[in-house]
Amino acid sequence: MYNQMYTSGYYETTTNWVLEADIYTIHSDELIYSTQPRGYEPNNAGTLADEFTSAIVAELKTKRMIP
């Protein structure tokens, strides 16, 4: 078993990111929008940030929260 566990490729390392976006009202500090998608393993953190931002903007437009 020792040889199998220490053979190259037996273990695999992954990175999972949890992103969160919360939007509050200015006057009452009330939470009006929150999202927390999970399970990302990006090749590039910049690409992940761009995709996350684009998805949030699209959803906020669909919900008519922004023009």
Overall pTM surpassing 0.75 (yes/no): no
Residue 1 covered by a domain? no
**pLDDT attached to residue 18:** 79
Residue 57 covered by a domain? yes
Residue 13: DSSP 8-state: -
- For the chain, the straight-line distance linking the first and the last C-alpha, in angstroms and rounded, comes to 60
Residue 67 covered by a domain? no
Residue 3 covered by a domain? no
- Looking at the structure of the chain, the number of domains it has is 1
Residue 7 covered by a domain? no
Chain-centroid distance of CA 26 in Å reads 25
Range(s) of the domain holding residue 34: 12-62
pLDDT in tens, 11-67: 777 777 778 899 999 999 999 999 987 656 667 777 888 888 999 999 999 999 988
**And the tokens for 54?**
């684009």
